[in-house]
Structure 1
Amino acid sequence: METIINGFKTNRAFAVTSVLVLVLIAIAFAAPVLAPYDPTHATMQDAFMAPGGSHLFGTDKLGRDCFSRVLYGARASLSGVLFLVASVFIVGTSMGVISGYFGGKVDMVIMRISDMMISFPGMILAIAVAGIMGGSLVNAVIALTIVSWTKYARLSRSLVLQIKRRDYVEAAIVNGGTSPHILWVHILPNILPMMVITAAADIGALMMELAG
């Protein structure tokens, strides 16, 4: 905790950005309290009203309040993209760690599947998968997870290949350490920082893909 506080003090840009992100998240999830109108309620006589006192962002063609719709839309987008990032992160990192650590046929199979997924246009494949399963946020997340895990698998695999050659990993193997113990104690803690940074940087791009 002390390290985090010192980081905020020394890096003001990071501190300001973090505060803004937390404020946006809080506003999005407080949409039911902050929204002045029902985002689905249509009043045709109020269609296309300009921004003003009664409607901060104006109204759309059906007379629905745009500000309320933005708040509720942000709530859905944030919850959806966080679920998507977590899903892609877990699937991709797990596959990459297994591939890099065990190697051999396991590595070959996982990487060939990864090559097959990369060979298809990602967005088109995701739309096709979502179309087959039906239109819903959950199906969209599943479809994008299927086409997006390869990036995390390749990155985590390369990190594992570097780390498993380190002396402390070889010493753990010599001392009789089991594979789950080595992965949990020596491998994962060393690759997670890079993987988490990558996932955080991908939130914007994955949000656009989820909207698509």
Structure 2
Amino acid sequence: MNLRKSLFAIALFLSPAVAFAHTGHDHAGLLAGLAHPLFGLDHLLAMLAVGLWAAQQSGAARWALPLCFVGSMLVGGLLGFSGVQIALMETGIAASVLAFGLLVAVAIRLPMIVAIALTALFALTHGVAHGLELPELANPWGYAAGFVMATATLHASGYALVRLLPQAAAPLVRVLGAASALTGAWLLAA
């Protein structure tokens, strides 16, 4: 019993130091930016789905869709840093999870201009959300670099999953898309 109390006391004693360990340092922005897309289910699913969907495409769409998403998201992030808000932002983010999930589930190849426009619109909503959630003392450029790197990594992970799986596993990718779409529908209803 004394050991438990001692460990609890040590944990309480150290917790303020842990909470303020990165305050005011440039890398705090980078770490916060990396964490935002990875720990938000809506962001995580949408960004993975963009990579899955890009891998289902042919030609330039394979690289244009993820690149468009990252660029549009960065523009949205800069708008968010400036305090710009967009109507129905959270609805747009949830809708992106649903839409990208459906696009993966049906493995559709839209005309390039439609695919780019859809991707850019949804990426902008994600970016504004990232920008508006900039931690108070974080370096905005480090934060932006973090969410861009995390997003690109999630896109690449989704892409690699599709490209590295044997063709016989293609139905599994569609099931992942359907699961993402269902989650998006749940997020919209919640």
Fold match by TM threshold 0.5: no
- Which structure exhibits the higher relative contact order, with contacts defined as CA atoms closer than 8 Å and separated by 6 or more residues? 2
* TM-score w.r.t. length of structure 1: 0.36
- Largest Rg, 1 or 2: 1
* TM-score w.r.t. length of structure 2: 0.39
